Amino acid sequence: MSSERIWVGTPFILNFEDQRQFFIPLEDQGHEVIIDDCPAYLSEDELVEKIKNATAVIAGAEPYTNKVMEKTSNLKIIARAGVGVNNIDIPSATKNNIVVTNAEGQNSSSVSEHFFGLLINCTRRIHWMNENIRKGAWREIQPALVPLKDQTLGIIGFGNIGKLVAKRAKAFEMNVIAYDIIQDQEAAERIGVKFVSLDELAKESDFVTCHVPLTPDTKHIVNKELLEKMKPEAFVFNTSRGPVFNLDEVTEALKNNTIQGAGIDVYPEEPPDYSHPIFTMENAVLTPHMGGRGIDAVRNTINHAVTCVDDFLKGKKPSTVINKDLYDN
């Protein structure tokens, strides 16, 4: 087996002091692993310079555009250390015979737990009380708080993460409804979930949470039209992909009290535009795309990406190939 160069761009690796531990299977075979310093933003030209001699990359959110792939002729596999592949031009990868994989299922528990962190923070106003008690407030920060028991949770997207959210919601004695174009009736019956239309979900839910991939059909699925069908005391949450929310229209709904609150972990652009008015809204709880950052999820995700690269370099088909046409044809 020839020695290949593997570039690591996922910022997940920065969570660990011993970063080399993950790449022992590759280095033991004589491959060279280059761990980048993982800046928050890379331009196309900067990325090309970093990966121009790489056969494989373990990717974060850097831009794998057609321009990048046309200029990196050695590149054979992009193993995304995450689930979403919106930063990768899949048709261009296929055209250039570059295999793309993701880490589907490796961070599902972490994302579902993060949603509940946002949910409880919003309903119990923990961040607001924590901030104000430090300023000496007491009686004036003792409002009535929103319960979870007997409330209705509407889940948009009943896949791996949606199912875990539903199971955890049942532990809070919540009613759970879901919308998905593919209805897993067996799982729904087992967990105790009822499938409804998107309109019904908006009207009936006290909390709406999104767990869908970004597609033309899911882009801006939470928009003005949907928000206006919701209860004025309802909350919306997004831990999936930023453009699933029309962020301008969600912000306007918060400002006009069309809904009561929001919990948001993902943004249309990342890092986000900090001048956006969402960052001034006191009834929004915001986190910097941390849903999949549970330490277990980070380990699982990196290990899975390494396995995908290892399998590919050994001539095997990785388990989570996105552009399956390269193998099918």
CATH number of the domain that 150 lies in? Answer: 3.40.50.720
Question: What's the confidence (pLDDT) of residue 1?
Answer: 58
Distance CA 298, CA 234 (A): 32
> Torsion angle of alpha carbons 63, 64, 66, 69, nearest 10°?
140
User: Active-site residues: which are they?
Assistant: 241, 270, 289
Q: Within this chain, do residues 251 and 216 fall inside the same structural domain, yes or no?
A: yes
Q: Within this chain, do residues 224 and 273 fall inside the same structural domain, yes or no?
A: yes
Q: Within this chain, do residues 184 and 246 fall inside the same structural domain, yes or no?
A: yes
Q: Within this chain, do residues 50 and 94 fall inside the same structural domain, yes or no?
A: yes
Contact 322, 90 (CB under 8 A): yes
Q: Within this chain, do residues 169 and 90 fall inside the same structural domain, yes or no?
A: no
Q: Within this chain, do residues 171 and 276 fall inside the same structural domain, yes or no?
A: yes
Question: What's the confidence (pLDDT) of residue 39?
Answer: 85
Question: What's the confidence (pLDDT) of residue 169?
Answer: 98
Q: Within this chain, do residues 86 and 122 fall inside the same structural domain, yes or no?
A: no
How would you write the pLDDT of the chain (329 residues) with one tens digit per residue?
Answer: 579 999 999 988 888 999 999 999 999 999 999 999 888 889 999 999 999 999 999 999 999 999 999 999 999 999 999 998 999 999 999 999 999 999 999 999 999 999 999 999 999 999 999 999 999 999 999 999 999 999 999 999 999 999 999 999 999 999 999 999 999 999 999 999 999 999 999 999 999 999 999 999 999 999 999 999 999 999 999 999 999 999 999 999 999 999 999 999 999 999 899 999 999 999 999 999 999 999 999 999 999 999 999 999 999 999 999 999 998 87
Question: What's the confidence (pLDDT) of residue 12?
Answer: 87
Q: Within this chain, do residues 63 and 80 fall inside the same structural domain, yes or no?
A: yes
Contact 90, 49 (CB under 8 A): no
Question: What's the confidence (pLDDT) of residue 38?
Answer: 85
Q: Within this chain, do residues 36 and 174 fall inside the same structural domain, yes or no?
A: no
Residues in the chain: 329
Residues 6 or more apart in contact with residue 104 via CB below 8 angstroms: 83, 160, 320
Question: What's the confidence (pLDDT) of residue 239?
Answer: 98
Distance CA 126, CA 132 (A): 10
Number of domains observed in the structure of the chain: 2
Contact 85, 35 (CB under 8 A): no
Q: Within this chain, do residues 113 and 86 fall inside the same structural domain, yes or no?
A: no
Show the domain range for 240. Answer: 108-286
Question: What's the confidence (pLDDT) of residue 15?
Answer: 85
Q: Within this chain, do residues 137 and 273 fall inside the same structural domain, yes or no?
A: yes
Q: Within this chain, do residues 177 and 86 fall inside the same structural domain, yes or no?
A: no
